[in-house]
Amino acid sequence: MTRRVIVAANWKMNGDLALVDSMLLGLKDLESSNVEVIICPSFPYLSELNQKIKAANLNEIIHVGAQTVSKFFDGAHTGEVSTNMLNDLSIKYVIVGHSERRSVYNETSEQVASKVHAVLKAGLSPILCIGETEEERSSGKIESVLMSQIQPVIDEIGIKNFSDVIISYEPVWAIGTGNPASSAMAQETHYFIRQLIAKQCDQVAANISLLYGGSVNAANCEELFAQPDIDGGLIGGASLQAEQFKIICSAAKGK
Protein backbone atom coordinates (compact mmCIF):
# COMPACT_ATOMS: atom_id res chain seq x y z
CA MET A 1 0.00 0.00 0.00
CA THR A 2 1.29 3.46 -0.93
CA ARG A 3 1.44 5.85 2.00
CA ARG A 4 -0.68 9.00 1.82
CA VAL A 5 1.35 12.13 1.18
CA ILE A 6 -0.09 15.10 3.06
CA VAL A 7 0.69 18.80 3.29
CA ALA A 8 -1.35 20.56 5.97
CA ALA A 9 -1.44 24.26 6.78
CA ASN A 10 -1.80 25.33 10.41
CA TRP A 11 -2.74 29.01 10.37
CA LYS A 12 -2.85 29.11 14.18
CA MET A 13 -4.51 32.34 15.39
CA ASN A 14 -3.66 34.17 12.19
CA GLY A 15 -5.50 35.05 9.02
CA ASP A 16 -8.78 36.65 8.04
CA LEU A 17 -11.33 36.51 5.24
CA ALA A 18 -8.86 38.25 2.95
CA LEU A 19 -6.34 35.44 3.49
CA VAL A 20 -9.02 32.86 2.67
CA ASP A 21 -9.57 34.58 -0.68
CA SER A 22 -5.89 35.18 -1.48
CA MET A 23 -4.91 31.62 -0.56
CA LEU A 24 -7.54 30.06 -2.82
CA LEU A 25 -6.60 32.44 -5.62
CA GLY A 26 -2.98 31.43 -5.24
CA LEU A 27 -3.78 27.72 -5.19
CA LYS A 28 -6.44 27.70 -7.93
CA ASP A 29 -4.13 26.13 -10.49
CA LEU A 30 -2.46 23.72 -8.07
CA GLU A 31 -2.19 20.47 -9.97
CA SER A 32 -4.21 17.55 -8.69
CA SER A 33 -1.96 14.71 -7.65
CA ASN A 34 -1.67 12.10 -4.94
CA VAL A 35 -0.85 14.85 -2.41
CA GLU A 36 -3.61 15.70 0.07
CA VAL A 37 -3.64 19.43 0.81
CA ILE A 38 -5.33 20.46 4.06
CA ILE A 39 -5.86 24.00 5.35
CA CYS A 40 -6.59 24.46 9.07
CA PRO A 41 -7.76 28.01 9.87
CA SER A 42 -9.24 29.27 13.13
CA PHE A 43 -12.79 28.11 13.89
CA PRO A 44 -14.60 31.26 12.58
CA TYR A 45 -13.27 30.67 9.06
CA LEU A 46 -13.91 26.93 8.67
CA SER A 47 -17.30 27.27 7.00
CA GLU A 48 -16.28 30.18 4.76
CA LEU A 49 -13.16 28.38 3.57
CA ASN A 50 -15.04 25.15 2.92
CA GLN A 51 -17.78 26.90 0.94
CA LYS A 52 -15.28 28.83 -1.19
CA ILE A 53 -13.26 25.70 -1.90
CA LYS A 54 -16.40 24.01 -3.20
CA ALA A 55 -17.44 27.09 -5.19
CA ALA A 56 -14.01 27.14 -6.86
CA ASN A 57 -14.25 23.40 -7.63
CA LEU A 58 -11.11 22.78 -5.58
CA ASN A 59 -12.66 20.31 -3.14
CA GLU A 60 -10.93 17.36 -4.84
CA ILE A 61 -7.55 18.98 -4.17
CA ILE A 62 -7.92 21.08 -0.99
CA HIS A 63 -9.52 19.91 2.25
CA VAL A 64 -10.34 21.76 5.46
CA GLY A 65 -9.26 20.87 8.97
CA ALA A 66 -9.70 22.26 12.47
CA GLN A 67 -6.85 23.13 14.82
CA THR A 68 -8.25 21.35 17.87
CA VAL A 69 -11.50 19.87 19.19
CA SER A 70 -13.18 18.95 22.45
CA LYS A 71 -13.16 15.38 23.73
CA PHE A 72 -16.83 15.88 24.67
CA PHE A 73 -19.66 15.30 22.21
CA ASP A 74 -21.90 18.05 23.65
CA GLY A 75 -22.93 19.62 26.95
CA ALA A 76 -21.94 22.44 29.29
CA HIS A 77 -18.48 23.14 27.91
CA THR A 78 -18.45 26.86 27.16
CA GLY A 79 -16.12 27.85 24.34
CA GLU A 80 -15.49 24.29 23.16
CA VAL A 81 -16.20 22.84 19.71
CA SER A 82 -17.30 19.23 19.28
CA THR A 83 -16.73 16.65 16.59
CA ASN A 84 -20.42 16.66 15.64
CA MET A 85 -20.18 20.40 14.98
CA LEU A 86 -17.21 19.79 12.69
CA ASN A 87 -19.15 17.06 10.92
CA ASP A 88 -22.00 19.53 10.44
CA LEU A 89 -19.57 21.74 8.52
CA SER A 90 -18.13 18.79 6.53
CA ILE A 91 -14.72 19.20 8.19
CA LYS A 92 -12.75 15.97 7.93
CA TYR A 93 -9.40 16.63 9.60
CA VAL A 94 -8.43 17.78 13.10
CA ILE A 95 -5.02 18.71 14.51
CA VAL A 96 -4.70 17.16 17.97
CA GLY A 97 -2.02 17.67 20.61
CA HIS A 98 -0.07 20.52 19.04
CA SER A 99 2.82 21.57 21.28
CA GLU A 100 1.11 24.90 21.95
CA ARG A 101 -1.96 23.09 23.21
CA ARG A 102 0.24 20.94 25.42
CA SER A 103 2.41 23.75 26.82
CA VAL A 104 0.06 26.75 26.93
CA TYR A 105 -3.22 24.94 27.70
CA ASN A 106 -1.66 22.10 29.68
CA GLU A 107 -3.12 19.27 27.61
CA THR A 108 -1.69 15.96 28.80
CA SER A 109 -0.93 13.01 26.55
CA GLU A 110 -3.89 11.21 28.13
CA GLN A 111 -6.22 14.11 27.25
CA VAL A 112 -4.79 14.16 23.75
CA ALA A 113 -5.50 10.42 23.49
CA SER A 114 -9.13 11.04 24.50
CA LYS A 115 -9.42 13.67 21.77
CA VAL A 116 -7.96 11.32 19.16
CA HIS A 117 -10.52 8.72 20.24
CA ALA A 118 -13.37 11.23 19.90
CA VAL A 119 -12.14 12.32 16.46
CA LEU A 120 -11.95 8.74 15.17
CA LYS A 121 -15.32 7.84 16.68
CA ALA A 122 -16.85 10.73 14.71
CA GLY A 123 -15.33 9.46 11.47
CA LEU A 124 -12.79 12.27 11.23
CA SER A 125 -9.04 12.04 10.66
CA PRO A 126 -6.74 13.18 13.49
CA ILE A 127 -3.33 14.74 12.87
CA LEU A 128 -1.50 13.82 16.07
CA CYS A 129 1.36 16.19 16.92
CA ILE A 130 4.34 14.96 18.91
CA GLY A 131 7.76 16.44 19.61
CA GLU A 132 10.43 17.24 22.14
CA THR A 133 11.73 20.53 23.57
CA GLU A 134 15.31 21.69 23.09
CA GLU A 135 16.08 20.76 26.70
CA GLU A 136 14.67 17.26 26.22
CA ARG A 137 16.72 16.78 23.06
CA SER A 138 19.96 18.01 24.62
CA SER A 139 19.46 15.71 27.61
CA GLY A 140 18.93 12.66 25.41
CA LYS A 141 15.24 12.21 26.17
CA ILE A 142 13.89 12.35 22.61
CA GLU A 143 12.87 8.72 22.38
CA SER A 144 11.29 8.55 25.83
CA VAL A 145 9.35 11.79 25.20
CA LEU A 146 7.99 10.59 21.85
CA MET A 147 7.04 7.22 23.34
CA SER A 148 5.23 9.00 26.19
CA GLN A 149 3.18 10.95 23.63
CA ILE A 150 2.38 8.04 21.29
CA GLN A 151 1.74 5.16 23.67
CA PRO A 152 -1.28 6.70 25.51
CA VAL A 153 -3.01 7.07 22.14
CA ILE A 154 -2.32 3.45 21.21
CA ASP A 155 -3.54 2.36 24.66
CA GLU A 156 -6.74 4.39 24.18
CA ILE A 157 -7.69 3.36 20.64
CA GLY A 158 -5.74 0.16 19.97
CA ILE A 159 -2.91 -0.39 17.51
CA LYS A 160 -5.21 -1.40 14.62
CA ASN A 161 -7.16 1.87 14.85
CA PHE A 162 -3.86 3.73 15.01
CA SER A 163 -3.61 3.12 11.27
CA ASP A 164 -6.24 5.87 10.85
CA VAL A 165 -4.05 8.42 12.64
CA ILE A 166 -1.72 10.85 10.86
CA ILE A 167 1.38 11.73 12.91
CA SER A 168 3.17 15.05 12.68
CA TYR A 169 6.59 15.15 14.31
CA GLU A 170 7.22 18.75 15.34
CA PRO A 171 10.34 19.35 17.43
CA VAL A 172 9.25 22.20 19.70
CA TRP A 173 12.61 23.95 19.33
CA ALA A 174 12.08 24.23 15.56
CA ILE A 175 8.52 25.59 15.52
CA GLY A 176 8.42 29.21 14.39
CA THR A 177 12.13 29.69 15.04
CA GLY A 178 13.40 29.56 11.47
CA ASN A 179 15.73 26.80 12.68
CA PRO A 180 14.35 23.52 11.30
CA ALA A 181 15.78 20.11 11.97
CA SER A 182 18.24 19.07 9.30
CA SER A 183 16.86 16.59 6.79
CA ALA A 184 19.11 13.90 8.27
CA MET A 185 17.99 14.64 11.82
CA ALA A 186 14.32 14.70 10.79
CA GLN A 187 14.68 11.41 8.91
CA GLU A 188 16.41 9.76 11.87
CA THR A 189 13.55 10.72 14.18
CA HIS A 190 10.84 9.73 11.70
CA TYR A 191 12.53 6.35 11.29
CA PHE A 192 12.53 5.91 15.06
CA ILE A 193 8.80 6.73 15.22
CA ARG A 194 8.01 4.22 12.48
CA GLN A 195 10.09 1.53 14.21
CA LEU A 196 8.41 2.30 17.53
CA ILE A 197 5.03 1.60 15.94
CA ALA A 198 6.42 -1.45 14.10
CA LYS A 199 7.16 -3.10 17.45
CA GLN A 200 3.39 -3.35 17.89
CA CYS A 201 2.27 -3.79 14.27
CA ASP A 202 4.45 -3.90 11.15
CA GLN A 203 1.56 -3.20 8.80
CA VAL A 204 0.39 -0.09 10.64
CA ALA A 205 3.96 1.21 10.76
CA ALA A 206 4.49 0.65 7.05
CA ASN A 207 1.30 2.46 6.03
CA ILE A 208 0.99 5.33 8.52
CA SER A 209 1.76 8.82 7.20
CA LEU A 210 4.45 10.69 9.13
CA LEU A 211 4.66 14.44 8.59
CA TYR A 212 7.41 16.86 9.61
CA GLY A 213 6.62 20.28 11.08
CA GLY A 214 8.92 23.01 12.30
CA SER A 215 10.05 25.93 10.12
CA VAL A 216 9.33 24.17 6.82
CA ASN A 217 9.53 26.65 3.94
CA ALA A 218 9.87 26.84 0.17
CA ALA A 219 13.67 26.59 0.40
CA ASN A 220 13.97 23.44 2.55
CA CYS A 221 10.77 21.48 1.79
CA GLU A 222 12.06 19.47 -1.15
CA GLU A 223 15.03 18.07 0.78
CA LEU A 224 12.87 17.26 3.80
CA PHE A 225 10.14 15.58 1.75
CA ALA A 226 12.73 13.51 -0.14
CA GLN A 227 13.54 11.55 3.03
CA PRO A 228 12.16 7.98 2.94
CA ASP A 229 10.15 8.20 6.18
CA ILE A 230 8.79 11.74 5.75
CA ASP A 231 5.41 11.76 4.00
CA GLY A 232 4.73 15.51 3.91
CA GLY A 233 4.51 18.34 6.38
CA LEU A 234 2.45 20.38 8.81
CA ILE A 235 3.27 23.93 7.84
CA GLY A 236 2.99 27.01 10.07
CA GLY A 237 4.23 30.46 9.04
CA ALA A 238 4.91 29.57 5.41
CA SER A 239 1.28 28.46 5.00
CA LEU A 240 0.16 32.08 5.43
CA GLN A 241 1.80 32.98 2.12
CA ALA A 242 0.06 31.50 -0.90
CA GLU A 243 3.14 31.51 -3.14
CA GLN A 244 5.32 29.71 -0.57
CA PHE A 245 2.61 27.25 0.37
CA LYS A 246 2.01 26.35 -3.27
CA ILE A 247 5.71 25.57 -3.71
CA ILE A 248 5.63 23.37 -0.61
CA CYS A 249 2.56 21.50 -1.83
CA SER A 250 4.13 20.95 -5.23
CA ALA A 251 7.34 19.63 -3.64
CA ALA A 252 5.53 16.73 -1.94
CA LYS A 253 5.73 13.54 -3.93
CA GLY A 254 4.33 10.05 -3.63
CA LYS A 255 6.11 7.39 -1.58
Does 255 have pLDDT greater than 70? no
193 pLDDT band (50/70/90 cuts)? Answer: very high
- Which entry of 63, 98, 117, 190 is annotated as an active-site residue? 98
Domain that holds residue 137: 5-251
Is residue 117 flagged as an active site residue?
no
Residue 102 is predicted with a pLDDT of 96
CATH number assigned to the domain comprising residue 69 = 3.20.20.70
Pairwise CA distance, residues 9 & 239, whole Å = 5
- Which entry of 100, 132, 156, 170 is annotated as an active-site residue? 170
Q: How many domains does the chain have?
A: 1
Q: Burial code of 118-147, b = ≥16 C-beta within 10 A, e = fewer?
A: bbbebebbbbbbbbbbeebbeeeebeebbe
Is residue 98 flagged as an active site residue?
yes
| Segment 7-55, tens digit of pLDDT | 999 999 999 999 999 999 999 988 767 899 999 999 999 999 999 999 9
Percent of the chain with pLDDT over 90: 90
Signed CA dihedral, 110, 101, 164, 174: sign only: negative
Q: Is the pTM of this model over 0.85?
A: yes
Q: Which of 61-70, 175-184, 220-229 has the lowest mean pLDDT?
A: 175-184
Give the mean pLDDT of 58-78: 96
Pairwise CA distance, residues 169 & 178, whole Å = 16
